C-alpha cells in the first residue's frame, strides 16, 4: 500500500536535518547534524529493504565520514560565516 | 487513489490482528512489550531532562543515564518479542541481542564520561548555588 | 547577490518535478526497473550460479566484479592522493589546544573501555566480511569496521599509538595487497582458461564444484576489498586529523 | 485542490517521495552554489549525493517483497535444495550434486531488486573517499591562505594576482627589494619564499616545502656574505633593507587586514 507513515516521517526529518546541517554556524555542530542525517538515511534504507546499503551507510556515512569531518574541522577555523 | 494518506486511516482504526496470535509465547511477548514501553518512558525522561536541565553536566547526567537504561530495556524487550519458539535460531538471535546490550552497557557510559571530561577540561562551569539564587531573583538565566 | 543562486536551483527543481510524474509509484512491482530482464536474471539465477544466498554480494563480486574492482582502485587512488596532497605540509603545533593535547594523559576509563572493545570490533569486522554471503555485509562494510577500530585507538590514546599498530607505509602496502588479491584472482581465473574474473574456472584448483568455486572466489575477492578499504579509511583519518604530520592527539 | 489529476495532488500526495528527493537535492545544490564556507559546500555535496542514492535505492522497492537474501525455501544451502539434491542424485547416480533450482518468475516478485543496491553500495564508499580527498584539499587551502571562506579566499587570490601582474620593471624592483613582502603567495614567488616574515601568516607552510629549495640555497648564499647563520633571523636584515624604501607604507596598510586577521583568528579558535 504505497508509502507508509514511517517513510513520510523519516523523509520529513531528513529535510529538517539537511536544512539544519547547512544553517548552523558552528561547523562541528554541522558535522554532528550531518551524522544524524546519515543515520536517518540508513534507517530509511533499512526500511526499504536495502539492508546492505543501510549497513554501508551506517558504517561509512555516519561513522567514518563524520569522524573525518570532525577531524578536519578540528584543524580549521570552527566558525563559519554563513 | 493509493497514497500515503490511507495510512492515517490505518492509525485511526487500530489493527485487529495483534502480536502473539501466531507463533511465540504470549507471556514472553507481553513482558517484552512492557520492557519496550518502559524503555520508551525512560527515553522520554532523558529527552525532557536534556531540554529542561540548566547546565551541561546535569544535561549529560540525564542523557547518559536515561539513554543507556532505555536502550538496554528496549533491546531486551525486542529480544523477548522475537523469541517465537525455543529453536536454536531464536536462541542465537537472543544471544546476539544480549551481546548488543552488553556493549551498550560498556560504551554508552564511557562516551558520556568522555563528553563530561572534555567539557570539564574546556573550563565549562557547573551551575552553582549562586547562579540559582540569581536566577530565582532575576530573570531566568541560561547556562553561562 | 545570493538570490541569483536560486535561479538555477529552482529551474533544476522544476525540471525534476516535471519528470517526476512519469515515474512509477512507490513500491510498484511492475515498474520498469523491477521488470528489467537483468534484475530478474540476477534474482532467479544467483542461487544456481554461485550458491550465495545474499544476492547483493553475488552481484557485487561476481556478476559485476569488474566494476567493483575499479571502485576499489578508486578508493586506493583517493588514499594516495590524500597522502600526496598533505605530505610534508604540516605546520608546527601552535595555539592552546595543540600544546595542551600533546601533554594530556589519555583518559583511563576511555582507554580501558577501548582496550576491551577493540578486539571485539575487529572480530566483528572479520565476521561481517566472512558472513557477507548469507547476511548483509561484505568487504566494504567489514573493511570500514576494521578501519574504524584503528580510528578508535587513535581517538582514545593518540595517533602515535595507532600508528605503532598500523603505520602508514604498512597501510599503503596492505591497500595495494588488497587490490593485488582482487586482480590476482581475476588473472588466475584467466590463466585457468576462463575470462578475467570468471571464477568458475577455479574449480581445477579447488576440490569443489563450479558453483562452489565461485562461492569461495567471491570470499577471496571480498577479502581483497576489505584490506584496501580498511587501510585507506585509517590512512584518510590519520592524514586529515594531523594535517599530514602523523603525530599528536586527535 | 486535492482532487485526482490536479498538480498539487500529483506532487504532494501521490508522489511525495519524489518531491522530497527533489527538495533534498535542491538543498544540496543550493548549498554547493551559495554557501561560502568550503566545508559547508562539502556537506551540501554529500547531501546532494545521498539524495541521488536515495532516489536510486527507492526505485528498487517492491511491495510485498523482502530483502534481497534468499528465504529458507529458496536458500541454495537450505533444507529444500538439499532434499532436491538427494532426490536428483538418487534418480541418476554419478552426476555431481546439484542443489539449487532456478526461481520462477512469480517468485521473482518476492525479492527486492538487488541491482540498484549494488550500484549504490559502491557509490557510498567512493563518496567517502572523494569527501576525504576534498577535505585534504581544504586543509591545504587553509595552510596556504589561512582561510576556507570563499570570499576571503577570493580577496587574497585577487591581491596576489594584482601583485604579480605589475609591470615588468615594478616586478623586478619589487622582487629584488622586498623579498619578505612578496612571499605571501609562495608558489608564485618561489624565489624568496624561504625568508620568514614577522607575522606567522598564511603562505608560510607552502613556502617551506620542497618547491622552494633551490631558491633557499640561493638566498642563503647571497646573505651568507653579510650575515652568516642568518637563515632564521632574517627579520632584522629585511627591516634594514626595507628602511631604505619609500613605497612600503601604503603597501603595508593594504596588506594589513588580511595579514592581521589570520593569525589572531587562528589563535582564538585553537
pLDDT at D221 over 50: no
Has residue A29 been placed in a domain? yes
Instruction: Give the pLDDT confidence of D138-172 residue by residue, as tens digits.
Output: 998 888 888 888 888 889 888 888 887 766 666 66
pLDDT at D87 over 80: no
Under the banding of pLDDT at 50, 70 and 90, the label for residue B9 is: low
Among A35, D149, D137, which residue's Cα sits nearest to residue C236? Answer: D137
pLDDT at D257 over 50: no
Has residue A19 been placed in a domain? no
Helix ranges (DSSP H) in D146-233: 150-164, 168-177, 179-182, 186-189, 204-207, 213-224
- For residue D183, the model assigns a pLDDT of 46
Residue range(s) defining the domain that contains residue B101: 25-135
Mean pLDDT calculated for residue range B36-64: 90
Query: Which of B4, B100, B118 to mutate: most A Cβ within 10 Å?
Result: B4
Cell (9 digits) for D136: 585534504
Under the banding of pLDDT at 50, 70 and 90, the label for residue B7 is: low
CATH classification of the domain holding D18: 1.10.287.3510
Instruction: Give the pLDDT confidence of B82-114 residue by residue, as tens digits.
Output: 877 777 888 888 898 999 999 999 999 999 998
Instruction: Give the pLDDT confidence of C94-131 residue by residue, as tens digits.
Output: 544 444 455 567 888 999 999 999 999 999 999 999 99
* Cβ-defined contact of B106 to C107 (cutoff 8 Å): no
Q: Which residue has the higher pLDDT, C87 or A23?
A: A23
Query: Which of D39, D82, D100, D196 to mutate: most C Cβ within 10 Å?
Result: D100
Has residue C109 been placed in a domain? yes
Say how far apart CA B112 and CA C43 lie, in whole Å. 45
Has residue D36 been placed in a domain? yes
* Lookup result for grid cell 521473482: D108
B1 to chain C: closest CA residue: C25
pLDDT at A11 over 60: yes
Span of D73-82, D128-137, D180-189 with lowest mean pLDDT: D180-189
> How many other CB atoms are there within 10 angstroms of residue B77's CB atom?
23
> How many other CB atoms are there within 10 angstroms of residue C29's CB atom?
17
Among C233, C75, C224, C86, which residue's Cα sits nearest to residue C154? Answer: C233
Among A24, A21, A26, which residue's Cα sits nearest to residue A62? Answer: A21
Under the banding of pLDDT at 50, 70 and 90, the label for residue D173 is: low
Which of B4, B10, B11 is opposite residue A3, by nearest beta carbon? B4
Cβ neighbours of residue B144 under 8 Å, at least 6 residues apart?
B55, B124, B125
Rounded to the nearest angstrom, the minimum Cα separation between B3 and chain D is 5
Q: Which residues of C touch B (CB under 8 A)?
A: 25-26, 104, 107, 109-110, 113, 116-117, 120
Under the banding of pLDDT at 50, 70 and 90, the label for residue A35 is: very high
Rounded to the nearest angstrom, the minimum Cα separation between B136 and chain A is 31
Q: Which residue has the higher pLDDT, D53 or C49?
A: D53
* Number of domains chain D contains: 1
Say how far apart CA C242 and CA C237 lie, in whole Å. 8
Rounded to the nearest angstrom, the minimum Cα separation between A60 and chain D is 7
Cell (9 digits) for D31: 548549498
- Our separate counts of H helices and E strands in chain A read 4, 0
Under the banding of pLDDT at 50, 70 and 90, the label for residue D226 is: very low
Instruction: Give the pLDDT confidence of C172-221 residue by residue, as tens digits.
Output: 999 999 999 999 999 999 998 888 888 888 888 888 888 888 889 999 99
Say what percent of chain B tops pLDDT 90. Answer: 27
Under the banding of pLDDT at 50, 70 and 90, the label for residue A61 is: confident
Has residue D31 been placed in a domain? yes
Residue range(s) defining the domain that contains residue D28: 7-67+111-145
Answer whether B110 touches C (CB < 8 Å): yes
Residues of D whose CB is below 8 A from C56: 68-69, 114, 117-118, 121
- For residue D267, the model assigns a pLDDT of 43
Say what percent of chain D tops pLDDT 70. Answer: 54
pLDDT at D12 over 90: no
* Cβ-defined contact of A45 to D54 (cutoff 8 Å): yes
Mean pLDDT calculated for residue range B130-142: 64
Q: Is A53 helix (H, G, I), strand (E, B) or coil?
A: helix
pLDDT at A78 over 80: yes
Has residue D56 been placed in a domain? yes
Under the banding of pLDDT at 50, 70 and 90, the label for residue D240 is: very low
Query: D244 and D233 in contact (C-beta within 8 Å)?
Result: no
Cα→Cα distances D13→A12, A24, C31, Å: 14, 31, 19
Say how far apart CA D130 and CA C75 lie, in whole Å. 8
* Number of domains chain A contains: 1
- For residue C19, the model assigns a pLDDT of 87
Under the banding of pLDDT at 50, 70 and 90, the label for residue C51 is: confident
Say what percent of chain A tops pLDDT 90. Answer: 63
pLDDT at D9 over 50: yes
Say how far apart CA D265 and CA D200 lie, in whole Å. 12
Instruction: Give the pLDDT confidence of C3-41 residue by residue, as tens digits.
Output: 888 899 999 999 988 888 788 888 788 888 888 888 888
- For residue B137, the model assigns a pLDDT of 60
- For residue B80, the model assigns a pLDDT of 87
Query: C231 and C147 in contact (C-beta within 8 Å)?
Result: yes
Mean pLDDT calculated for residue range A52-60: 92
Has residue B3 been placed in a domain? no
Residues of C whose CB is below 8 A from A63: 144, 148
Answer whether D99 touches A (CB < 8 Å): no
Residues of C whose CB is below 8 A from A64: 144, 147-148, 151, 233, 236-237
Has residue A53 been placed in a domain? yes
Has residue C6 been placed in a domain? no
Has residue B54 been placed in a domain? yes
Q: Which residue has the higher pLDDT, B79 or B4?
A: B79
Which one-letter DSSP state was computed for residue D65? -
Residue range(s) defining the domain that contains residue C93: 52-242
- For residue D191, the model assigns a pLDDT of 43
* Number of domains chain B contains: 1
- For residue C21, the model assigns a pLDDT of 79
Q: Which residue has the higher pLDDT, D224 or D107?
A: D107
Has residue C17 been placed in a domain? no
Query: D42 and D49 in contact (C-beta within 8 Å)?
Result: no
Under the banding of pLDDT at 50, 70 and 90, the label for residue D212 is: very low
User: Mean pLDDT score of chain C, rounded to an integer?
Assistant: 86
Has residue C9 been placed in a domain? no
Q: Facing residues of A26 across strands? A: A79
CA dihedral over D132, D138, D142, D148, signed as positive or negative: negative
Has residue A3 been placed in a domain? no
* Cβ-defined contact of B4 to D4 (cutoff 8 Å): no
Residue range(s) defining the domain that contains residue A69: 25-75
Amino acid at each position: 500500500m504505497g508509502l507508509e507513515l514511517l517513510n513520510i516521517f523519516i523523509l520529513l526529518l531528513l529535510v529538517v536535518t539537511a536544512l539544519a546541517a547547512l544553517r548552523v554556524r558552528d561547523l562541528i555542530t554541522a558535522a554532528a547534524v550531518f551524522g544524524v542525517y546519515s543515520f536517518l538515511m540508513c534507517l530509511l534504507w533499512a526500511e526499504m529493504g536495502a539492508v546492505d546499503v543501510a549497513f554501508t551507510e551506517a558504517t561509512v556515512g555516519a561513522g567514518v565520514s563524520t569522524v573525518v569531518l570532525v577531524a578536519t574541522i578540528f584543524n580549521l577555523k570552527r566558525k563559519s560565516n554563513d | 487513489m493509493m497514497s500515503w494518506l490511507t495510512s492515517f486511516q490505518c492509525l485511526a482504526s487500530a489493527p485487529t490482528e495483534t502480536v502473539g496470535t501466531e507463533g511465540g509465547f504470549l507471556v514472553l511477548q507481553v513482558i517484552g512489550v512492557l520492557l519496550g514501553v518502559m524503555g520508551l518512558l525512560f527515553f522520554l525522561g532523558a529527552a525532557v531532562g536534556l531540554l529542561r536541565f540548566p547546565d551541561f553536566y546535569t544535561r549529560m547526567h540525564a542523557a547518559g543515564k536515561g539513554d543507556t537504561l532505555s536502550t538496554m530495556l528496549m533491546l531486551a524487550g525486542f529480544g523477548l518479542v522475537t523469541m517465537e519458539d525455543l529453536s536454536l535460531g531464536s536462541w542465537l538471535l537472543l544471544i546476539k541481542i544480549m551481546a548488543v546490550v552488553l556493549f551498550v552497557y560498556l560504551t554508552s557510559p564511557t562516551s558520556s564520561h568522555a563528553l563530561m571530561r572534555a567539557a570539564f577540561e574546556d573550563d565549562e562551569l557547573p551551575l552553582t548555588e549562586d547562579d540559582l539564587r540569581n536566577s530565582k531573583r532575576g530573570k531566568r538565566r541560561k547556562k553561562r | 547577490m545570493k538570490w541569483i543562486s536560486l535561479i538555477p536551483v529552482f529551474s533544476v527543481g522544476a525540471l525534476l518535478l516535471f519528470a517526476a510524474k512519469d515515474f512509477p509509484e512507490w513500491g510498484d512491482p511492475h515498474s520498469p526497473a523491477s521488470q528489467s530482464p537483468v534484475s530478474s536474471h540476477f534474482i532467479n539465477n544467483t542461487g544456481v550460479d554461485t550458491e550465495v544466498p545474499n544476492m547483493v554480494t553475488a552481484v557485487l563480486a561476481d556478476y559485476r566484479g569488474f566494476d567493483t574492482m575499479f571502485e576499489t582502485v578508486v578508493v586506493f587512488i583517493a588514499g594516495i592522493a590524500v597522502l600526496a596532497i598533505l605530505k610534508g605540509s604540516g605546520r608546527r603545533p601552535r595555539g592552546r589546544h595543540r600544546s595542551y593535547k600533546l601533554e594530556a594523559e589519555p583518559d583511563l576509563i576511555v582507554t580501558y573501555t577501548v582496550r576491551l572493545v577493540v578486539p571485539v570490533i575487529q572480530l566483528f569486522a572479520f565476521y561481517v566480511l566472512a558472513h557477507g554471503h548469507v547476511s548483509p555485509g561484505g568487504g566494504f562494510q567489514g573493511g570500514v569496521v576494521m578501519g574504524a577500530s584503528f580510528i578508535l585507538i587513535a581517538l582514545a590514546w593518540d595517533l602515535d599509538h595507532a600508528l605503532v599498530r598500523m603505520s602508514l607505509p604498512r597501510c599503503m602496502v596492505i591497500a595495494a595487497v588488497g587490490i593485488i588479491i582482487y586482480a590476482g584472482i581475476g588473472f588466475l581465473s584467466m590463466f585457468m582458461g576462463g575470462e578475467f574474473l570468471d571464477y568458475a574456472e577455479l574449480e581445477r584448483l579447488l576440490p569443489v564444484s563450479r558453483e562452489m568455486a565461485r562461492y569461495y572466489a567471491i570470499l577471496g575477492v571480498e577479502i581483497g576489498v576489505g584490506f584496501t578499504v580498511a587501510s585507506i579509511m585509517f590512512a584518510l583519518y590519520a592524514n586529515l586529523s594531523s594535517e599530514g604530520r602523523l603525530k599528536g592527539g586527535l | 485542490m486535492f482532487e485526482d489529476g490536479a498538480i498539487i495532488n500529483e506532487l504532494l500526495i501521490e508522489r511525495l517521495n519524489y518531491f522530497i528527493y527533489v527538495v533534498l537535492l535542491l538543498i544540496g545544490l543550493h548549498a554547493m552554489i551559495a554557501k561560502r564556507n568550503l566545508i559547508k559546500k562539502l556537506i551540501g555535496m554529500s547531501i546532494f549525493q545521498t539524495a541521488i542514492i536515495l532516489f536510486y535505492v527507492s526505485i528498487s522497492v517492491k511491495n510485498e517483497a523482502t530483502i534481497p537474501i534468499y528465504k529458507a525455501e529458496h536458500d541454495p544451502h537450505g533444507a529444500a535444495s538439499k532434499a532436491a539434491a538427494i532426490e536428483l542424485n538418487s534418480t541418476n547416480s554419478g552426476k555431481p550434486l546439484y542443489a539449487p533450482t532456478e526461481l520462477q518468475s512469480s517468485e521473482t516478485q518476492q525479492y527486492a531488486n538487488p541491482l540498484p543496491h549494488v550500484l549504490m553500495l559502491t557509490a557510498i564508499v567512493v563518496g567517502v573517499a572523494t569527501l576525504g580527498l576534498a577535505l585534504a584539499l581544504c586543509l591545504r587551502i587553509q595552510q596556504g591562505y589561512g582561510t576556507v571562506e570563499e570570499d576571503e579566499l577570493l580577496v587574497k587570490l585577487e591581491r596576489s594576482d594584482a601583485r604579480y601582474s605589475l609591470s615588468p620593471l615594478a616586478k623586478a624592483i619589487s622582487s629584488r627589494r622586498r623579498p619578505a613582502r612578496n612571499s605571501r603567495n609562495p608558489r608564485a614567488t618561489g624565489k624568496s619564499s624561504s625568508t620568514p616574515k614577522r607575522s606567522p601568516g598564511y603562505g608560510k607552510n607552502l613556502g617551506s616545502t620542497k618547491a622552494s629549495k633551490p631558491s633557499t640555497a640561493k638566498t642563503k648564499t647571497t646573505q651568507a656574505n653579510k650575515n652568516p647563520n642568518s637563515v632564521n633571523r632574517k627579520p632584522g636584515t629585511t627591516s634594514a633593507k626595507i628602511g631604505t624604501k619609500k613605497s612600503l607604507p601604503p603597501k603595508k596598510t593594504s596588506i594589513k587586514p588580511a595579514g592581521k586577521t589570520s593569525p589572531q583568528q587562528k589563535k582564538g579558535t585553537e
